[in-house]
Homo-oligomer: A and B are copies of this chain.
């Protein structure tokens, strides 16, 4: 066959190669079922190299986590930078998120789906990453709404609520995108923004929608609309 001898490669590069493969394998199999042997083999290397460079399986996973999280956050912030209004920054951030996931599906799987049932350190890392994203989004929300709505005392709690809903929706829409390859990240973003933009303002300004009273529905009755009209009229001050 080919006389292709396995060339030696400096540590930095090898590390990245290992992490590249590891992200794929972790995404494919999940943390525990993934074996270091397989990762080493796919990386065209022997197992002790992995341990020499990344310390342990957990260390390897942490490295994957950190690198991919950094990339995602960078994409998010990079898109939002240099954009004037907070509304547009939110748009840009979401758009970048969808584009990122569309292009680096493995990264997203590792970051999100796989990182639950792991040992302390990892769980902490993931939780921190998630908190960071939440904070970022919550900030955009707060700023965006603050500007659009004027000096309204926007409680952090409210912004946090909106951020959670937004991130969760975006995350879930990731699956939807997978089944609709024709959809561009921009289009998905537009739909999502359209879906929540007005509502965000409502929530942050205090709740407006209430479940129409009566009608064996759960909960107390604020008794706002007696006849339970199908669509509670919203203050859509666009």
Chain A residues close to B by CB (< 8 Å) = 29-33, 78-79, 82-85, 87-88, 91-92, 95-96, 99, 113-114, 116-118, 147-149, 157, 160-162, 164-173, 175-176, 180, 182-187, 190-203, 207-212, 215-221, 225, 228, 230-234, 236
Q: Please, could you name 19 A-B residue pairs with CB atoms under 8 Å apart, sorted by A?
A: A30-B118, A84-B216, A87-B231, A88-B211, A88-B212, A96-B220, A99-B220, A99-B221, A114-B116, A160-B176, A164-B176, A168-B168, A168-B172, A186-B231, A186-B233, A187-B231, A193-B209, A194-B199, A198-B198
A218's partner among B88, B221, B234 (CB-CB below 8 A) is B88
Hey, which chain B residues are within 8 Å of A212, CB to CB? 85, 87-88
Question: How many copies of the chain does the oligomer comprise?
Answer: 2
Question: Do residues B88 and A215 form an inter-chain contact, with CB atoms below 8 A?
Answer: yes
Bound form: Cα–Cα A117–B114 in Å: 7
Which residues of chain B are within 8 angstroms of A78 by Cβ–Cβ distance?
Answer: 220
Instruction: Among A162, A184, A195, A220, find the residue whose CB has the most chain B CB atoms closer than 10 A.
Output: A195
Report the minimal beta-carbon distance from A78 to chain B, rounded to whole angstroms: 7
Chain B residue at minimal CB-CB distance from A211:
B91
Assess whether B218 is in contact with A83, with CB atoms less than 8 Å apart. Answer: yes
Closest to A222 in B: B190
Cβ distance A206 to chain B, nearest Cβ, rounded Å = 9
B91, B116, B231: the one within 8 Å of A217 (CB): B91
B-chain residues with CB within 8 Å of residue A217 when the two chains form the complex? 83, 88, 91-92
Chain B residues near A201: list those with CB within 8 A: 231
